[in-house]
Chain A
């Protein structure tokens, strides 16, 4: 019976990690549904971007209030993992405060966790107020109804509860240390949880132990639950922001990819010795689909982007089309991509590892033509994203599909393209008149 808590803890830990691993595998399989893209270039710059943008939070602080609050929660999250490590070791070995021999360093660590925990509580309350009382506009776009809204609040509640449990645990522990209770090592410095002392005044050692143990267990169970909640939540960004900033676009924002499949066709057309009626070579690959109509047509970085999106809406709030009341919201493009990708993933699982056509597509069923044509390709969304997501690339790939596979461009654009084809200008002017301006007064 003596080892029951240790065994229970081990089962819980292994169970949580197994479930987490399963979801990581699912995540990786879904992302790999995307087309391959070579992002192995310029590694030093990529590491630098990751260090600056994900680790250094440089793009978060562009908006100072949210930025600084976010940095607090983020630093709290990182640092508190040392505490989680101690909890795990204690849980498995049945020890208490195993890092205590670190002495002064330990005191400093515990004190800083406590201060951070307090600051996190403050930040979380501010975040909650911004969402629910101040009602900041970008959190109330149509795409934010239902789960996205609940998800955002739920994350805040979980963080709040976890921090309170942590402080309660320490407060009771501190009290037990004062009373010289057995097993409770005299260690740590408790600048915040000390303030909870009045609550514990006059409580017996067994009651204090009950409070301390309950808070300890609930805290670690909460953390393991949160870990497994990530996959189902926008909170996945705490993990994916790192690879996502690493694989983010390095070239100038205005540079769009030249489609290789098209280059091949164009070269063939320009080659005077090519036989336009030649039968395709035996075993030749069928011509590639131009552009994207579903998630499998996107590349894996774009799919990683979709899972990384934390729905903060900075892209949408900077989007000129959105600002002027058009249907386009870059955030919705990312959320739609993720939703469709999840749907495709579930389809694959239900059909034993193979995708069975479900009569749906990202284009049309999730993203409308109207949204796609409202984009001015201005790159404001790309600039605004704190984690290097590129919604514009998805919009462009889908436009390519509309135009090159479906000939479904708005008629004005068809006229423009016809003019370029015939006259070398988007307007119906003769190419021979190109230098007329020189003579006009």
Chain B
């Protein structure tokens, strides 16, 4: 840990009469899950380094309602959505970035119908944008030549057709991007979507995350890259199940970049 993180909240900026360029929607996993918190911090370090004016909602943020909706509780979802939209609209938010594809999908696609219209980008898209605008520079560093495979999160890939931004970033690290048997449109779920994260899987021959991890390991990767905190957990569990945690790391794209840049 090098520098201290600078994490302004919307409430602070609002009190100072300022409006950030973008709101960073941290999400439940990014706020509370020990593994995902590291992704959050890595992303903030990059934002700090690139001098992006951003803010988080902090204690004013609440669950987007995604798991409730996918579990069938439309009522709870809309209560959450309407409450969040009131907060976001109250601050006049225009652009939202998030490291969670579930938050991304919900705010981007399902909030507009309930009165919440924002430009919503996934953090990999945002990082790609920063790179293209020359606001961050990236070099391979320690990832040069390493075999990295990317697991497409369903709610980023198939659900919203974002396939290239994360891959472009990996390539920018001078890493060797290797694709799994199932990738992009045909990507295989990590097993956490549709609120499965919060329940035991149904009976079957094996768990979905094990199947997906096997596909990832087939590519003989040094790193399995992810773009979703839930996928990250599922793949990390899968790698542990295969007793490969000593040789294969599961890392978010933001962590890869922060590490490469020694942040």
Contact = CB atoms under 8 A, between A and B. Distances in A.
Given A266-B75, A266-B78, A266-B79, A416 B67 contact: yes
A320 interface: yes
A424 B80 contact: yes
A421 B77 CA distance: 10
Interface stretch (A79-87, A141-149, A183-191, A378-386): A378-386
Given A258-B74, A326-B201, A416-B71, A376 B192 contact: yes
Contacts of A433: 31-32
A377 B68 contact: no
Given A396-B72, A416-B195, A380 B201 contact: no
B31 A425 contact: yes
Contact of B110 (A255, A320, A424): A255
Nearest to A267: B82
A426 B70 CA distance: 13
B206 A324 contact: yes
A252 interface: yes
Question: For chain B, which range describes its interface: under 10, 10 to 19, 20 to 34, or 35 or more residues?
Answer: 35 or more
B236 interface: no
A413 B198 CA distance: 6
Interface stretch (A234-242, A274-282, A401-409): A401-409
Question: For chain A, which range describes its interface: under 10, 10 to 19, 20 to 34, or 35 or more residues?
Answer: 35 or more
Interface string B182-226: 000111110111111111111111111011100000000000000
Interface stretch (B13-21, B56-64, B132-140, B238-246): B56-64
Contacts of A321: 202, 204, 208
B167 interface: no
Interface in B156-187: 158-161, 185-187
Interface of B: 1, 5, 7, 9, 26, 28, 30-33, 37, 40-41, 56, 58-59, 61-63, 65, 67-76, 78-82, 105, 108-110, 113-114, 154-155, 158-161, 185-189, 191-208, 210-212
**Interchain residue pairs A-B with the least CB separation, the first 8:** A254-B159, A325-B205, A399-B72, A377-B194, A424-B62, A255-B109, A325-B204, A378-B189
Interface of A: 251-256, 258-259, 262-263, 265-267, 269-270, 290-291, 318, 320-321, 323-328, 370, 373-380, 382-383, 396, 398-404, 409-410, 412-413, 415-417, 420-421, 424-427, 429, 431-438, 440-441
